[in-house]
Amino acid sequence: MTAQPHSGDCFINGKWVPGDGAPFQKTCPANGEVVWTGRAASAAQTRQAVEAARTAFDAWGRTKLATRQAVLERYTEELRLRKEAMALAISRDMGKLLKEAGIEVDTMVAKIAVSIKAQADRAGEHSLPVDFGHLDLTHRPHGVMAVFGPYNFPGHLPNGHIVPALLPGNTCVFKASELAPSVAPLMMDAFQAAGLPPGCINLLQGGRDTGADLLAADINGLLFTGSEHTGRMFHRYFAGRPEVILALEMGGNNPLIIWEPTDVEAATDIAIQSAYLTTGQRCSCARRLILPKGRFGDQVVESIAERARHLAVGPWNDDTAFMGPLVSAHAAAQAVTFQNKLIAEGARAILPLEQKDENLGFVSPGLIDMSGAAPMDEEMFGPLLQVYRAGDLDQAIALANATRFGLAGGLVCDDLPTWELVKSRLRAGILNLNKPTVGASGQMPFGGPGASGNFRPGAYYAADYCAWPQASQVA
């Protein structure tokens, strides 16, 4: 059964309204149950949402920062009150294990304090006395920010754009992912209960057509986390329009180098977490494993294969499961197709990724030897780890950098000189030592060069793209 507490699909200017666009529904990838049904926003409703945000911007942007901050601090408490409902919505929509969905909501809560600190540190007000006056630095909001939410963290990731945008005085129009529509209404409830004025946050449901309508509207910025393909389309769309701020985080083809640590089991743990956590549906997941040629590399592969073979796969409410389903049966079929392409190019499946049921999203973890295949520099959003072998560390680093992406990477080793060498040469915005590639800290910037985005990192640095500096000389 569906669990929709509102009479409308979209939240525009502080009111719930039915969508006037095409009908759509979302089924749970763990059991096929319909968990959300409704209609997308029409083009007219999208314009109304942007107009509402535009109208609200005039007052919200002039509100004292302390007042805006107080609203968002109350929002923190409202999220806490809704934790159980939000975690359930996330799990039922995209299949994420309930324990992981609860952590996602906790992260949403914790991130707000980080955003408040970042606003003060990176986009605050400063005054410097000089001869015959002083220099003032202030930061001002852009205007109306369009936020496109991804399905893999449907609460946390859009929230990581929305809160930093609201803090300096922007208003937002949020298009939730059509693959995970259920948590966004709960976020709107929390904002409304916190006292955010009408029009400051608006919610549109829908897919590609709704997104296209929002792009064509009178927006001042686009904040996006998602696939490279979609991000490139957005970049092309706004080519020649520097007045529209773009913050694009577009994933990666992330390497994990394991270079002869003494503890193979510990290295295996790191590889398993990096590749298979959240069923591989994190943009920071390791997609490529780089090992030295020879017996040590063989041991690591054998250890990972044995561990992965016995990983528990189950529905979101299975407390014993390590992996849930992918977001849809279609996503599961795409993962199998990607693996088959690699095999057709000469790769060998050590542990094949298999779809358990063509009508559901469950897949088994995959491990594939790429020794005889040409690399495919694509992000496959699922639990498939590609194994590469290097003759020496220089070759390992070259293999790691053999990608147009640059989001995340990791190294497992025992000695500091190896780390310092890899750190100085590996092209990755997030680079971890002896830790999984996943689980980046919100207190640090999140993003990477190359095809991973336009290098406007999120998390702690989100304040940078949500306000523009105004420098004044005052006599």
Torsion-angle region of 218 (φ positive above 0: left; ψ -120 to 50: alpha; else: beta): beta
SS3 402: coil
Q: What is the DSSP letter of 24?
A: E
Order of strands, sheet of 201-204, starting from the edge strand that comes earlier in the sequence? 15-17, 10-12, 201-204, 171-175, 144-148, 221-225, 245-249
Closest CA to 365 of 388, 349, 345: 349
Q: Is residue 249 annotated as part of the catalytic site, yes or no?
A: yes
Q: What are the CA-CA distances from residue 342 to residues 256, 257, 377 (Å)?
A: 19, 21, 11
Q: Which of 96, 99, 112, 90 is nearest to 442 (CA)?
A: 112
Q: Is 228 a catalytic residue?
A: no
Backbone angles phi, psi at 332, to 5 degrees: -65, -45
Q: Determine how many CB atoms are found less than 10 A away from the CB of residue 71.
A: 18
Considering the candidates 78, 249, 260, 379, report the single residue annotated as catalytic: 249
CA distance 29 to 34: 10
Q: Which of 10, 28, 283, 466 is catalytic?
A: 283
Query: In whole angstroms, what is the distance from residue 93 CA to residue 408 CA?
Result: 27
For residue 207, the 8-state DSSP code is S
Sequence letter at residue 99: K
Residue whose pair of structure tokens reads 């590996």 in the numeric block: 426
Cα–Cα distance for residue pair 377/403, rounded to 1 Å? 6
| Dist. CA 261–CA 249, nearest whole Å | 32
Transcribe 269-309 into DSSP letters.
HHHHHHHHGGGG-STTSEEEEEEESSHHHHHHHHHHHHHHH
Give the residue numbers annotated as catalytic, written as ranges.
Answer: 249, 283
